Amino acid sequence: MKRTGMFTAALFIWINVLGQLFDKDTILYNGNSNKYINLVILSDGYTADELSKFVTDATKFTTAFFNEIPYLNYKNYFNVFIIKVPSNESGASHPGTATDVTEPAHPVATVNNYFGSTFDYGGIHRLLVANRTSAISNVLANNFPDYDQALILVNSPYYGGSGGYYTVASTHTSSAQIAVHELGHSFSGLKDEYWAGDIYASEGINMTKQVNPSLVIWKNWVGTNLIGIYQYCCGGNSSQWYKPHQNCKMQFLGPPFCSVCIQATIERIHSLVGPIESFDPQNSTVNVTTYPVKFKLDLISPAPNTLKRNWSLNGLFYQRNIDSVMIGESNLSMGLNTLKVMIEDTTQLLRVDNHSSIHISSVTWSVNKIITGIKDIKSSTSEIVIDFYPNPASDLINIKFIGETKGKIKLEIYDMQGIKQKVRSLGNSEVNSIDLSNLKQGIYIAKILIDNKLITSRKIMKQY
């Protein structure tokens, strides 16, 4: 139980450590945080002496998380980091005010933890929420601003969790299943497939009022893997709403995700990162005087590898489903040639009509066949450094170009669903800014293009 004097002192400490740096550790690392999805797990209700338990709990969750389809298939796309945030007291608060159970369902307690995690949120006993969202955003901003999804792991043995902008889960024996379910909300934008109440009912990826099989959002899956159009339970307003499956993880802990929810998660993964980690040559224009010339991709592959790679030279088929090609002198015309490779994920876990137009990736080289001894010429953008600051921000993010830029510079902002928010032109070699005032709180993708060629893609965060 928390004592008033301790709370006053702890509150003063909490206010003064918003910019504090905490110990961090790596649970899973696949590559640079700018090119992978970063799941960051924060501790709440773990005292300084219990942080080793937090490491164990976070590791256990990570193992369970990547045993679930489709995370199992796309594990190579993720990094998992932890931030060790000590609390003054162990556990989570439980005011005993829930109206959906006979309280106290477990001992009433007021716990001085760092992020304010508490049961009984909104009168629902199992709804475990971290109340101090500003503390969460500050810890992330100061310790790991490149995060894509945050999970608050709460040191409580009682069943509970919640979705939303941040995911929260306890250390109950079902903790991993709770967290995976709640990440279905936070990461993939999924609805509950049990009836959570009228206020949670709305059209979504896996919830609809549409009953026409040819029009329902998951129409491509109807009749496969037990996907249908199933009415929610309980009468009243619930009878107007429908879901795609009757035994999905978004309804029960334990079963796998249904095909509709798996597809939504893969689309979310594709919206955050592409399969191209790097390519060589890095220059978009290559002047060739000696042969053969090698062009190579380094790809982030699912398991099993479902990436289709189509290489074309001057618009004609060249090679398929290999990561590198050799170009001989006889393959090139004198002057400028175009080598292009297009990469598409052809997994059978997707049945999306326009997936190819949205989530296809490509690399294009201009290959100049010359007869002089001139060496490869670097593109005009190869030495440019672009800095975004501050990030996150509430109103303006500054952009600084370091190095010589030639060509028309363009800024494009996309939300996490890949929908373009706004486009504006920037002056060359100058400091400019991104106006966030008309954007909702959240994570966006800022892309800088020079002469319509992508130079950098950076995650930015709008906060209040």
pLDDT band at residue 424 using 50, 70 and 90 as cut-offs = low
pLDDT tens across 208-218, in order?
Answer: 999 999 999 99
Of 134, 197, 194, 143, residue with least CA distance to 166: 134
**Structure pTM?**
0.75
Predicted local confidence at residue 420, as pLDDT: 66
pLDDT tens across 368-382, in order?
Answer: 988 643 333 333 444
Predicted local confidence at residue 68, as pLDDT: 98
Of 126, 247, 236, 237, residue with least CA distance to 193: 247
More confident residue, 270 or 410: 270
Q: Is 15 exposed, middle or buried (0-12, 13-18, 19+ CB in 10 A)?
A: exposed
Mean pLDDT over 98-108 rounds to 95
Predicted local confidence at residue 383, as pLDDT: 53
Architecture of the 4-186 domain: 3-Layer(aba) Sandwich (3.40)
Mean pLDDT over 51-69 rounds to 97
Q: Is 87 exposed, middle or buried (0-12, 13-18, 19+ CB in 10 A)?
A: buried
Predicted local confidence at residue 263, as pLDDT: 97
pLDDT band at residue 426 using 50, 70 and 90 as cut-offs = low
Q: From residue 377, give the alpha-carbon distance in Å to each of 282, 285, 334, 386, 409.
A: 11, 7, 17, 21, 21
Among the residue ranges 246-250, 274-278, 404-408, the one predicted with the least confidence is: 404-408
The backbone torsions φ and ψ at residue 141, rounded to the nearest 5 degrees and listed phi first, read: -60, -35
Among the residue ranges 103-112, 273-282, 426-435, the one predicted with the least confidence is: 426-435
Predicted local confidence at residue 399, as pLDDT: 81
Determine the straight-line distance between the first and last CA of the chain, rounded to whole angstroms. Answer: 33
Whether 15 shows a pLDDT value over 60: the answer reads no
Whether 431 shows a pLDDT value over 70: the answer reads no
pLDDT tens across 182-205, in order?
Answer: 999 999 999 999 998 898 999 999
Predicted local confidence at residue 358, as pLDDT: 75
State how far the Cα of 242 lies from the Cα of 348, in Å rounded to an integer. Answer: 25
More confident residue, 436 or 174: 174
pLDDT tens across 285-338, in order?
Answer: 999 988 899 999 999 999 999 999 999 999 999 999 999 999 998 899 888 999
More confident residue, 152 or 401: 152
Predicted local confidence at residue 416, as pLDDT: 60
More confident residue, 360 or 13: 360
Predicted local confidence at residue 167, as pLDDT: 96
Structure tokens at 406: 């030639």
Most confident of 145-149, 197-201, 448-452: 145-149
Mean pLDDT over 47-58 rounds to 98
Among the residue ranges 45-54, 169-178, 412-421, the one predicted with the least confidence is: 412-421
pLDDT band at residue 455 using 50, 70 and 90 as cut-offs = confident
Q: Indicate if 274-369 has the same CATH topology as 4-186.
A: no
Give the domain ranges of the chain: 4-186, 198-271, 274-369, 385-462
* CATH T-level fold of 274-369: Immunoglobulin-like (2.60.40)
Structure tokens at 344: 């598409």
Ramachandran region, residue 236 (left: φ > 0; alpha: ψ -120 to 50; beta: rest): left
Q: Indicate the CATH number of 385-462 among 2.60.40.1930, 2.40.30.10, 2.40.50.140, 3.30.470.20.
A: 2.60.40.1930
Of 159, 125, 142, 27, residue with least CA distance to 85: 142
Q: How many CB atoms lie within 10 A of CB 35?
A: 16
More confident residue, 428 or 62: 62
Predicted local confidence at residue 395, as pLDDT: 81
> DSSP string of 7-52?
HHHHHHHHHHTTT---EEEEEE--S-TTTSEEEEEEEES--GGGHH
Mean pLDDT over 156-175 rounds to 94
Mean pLDDT over 275-283 rounds to 94
pLDDT band at residue 179 using 50, 70 and 90 as cut-offs = very high
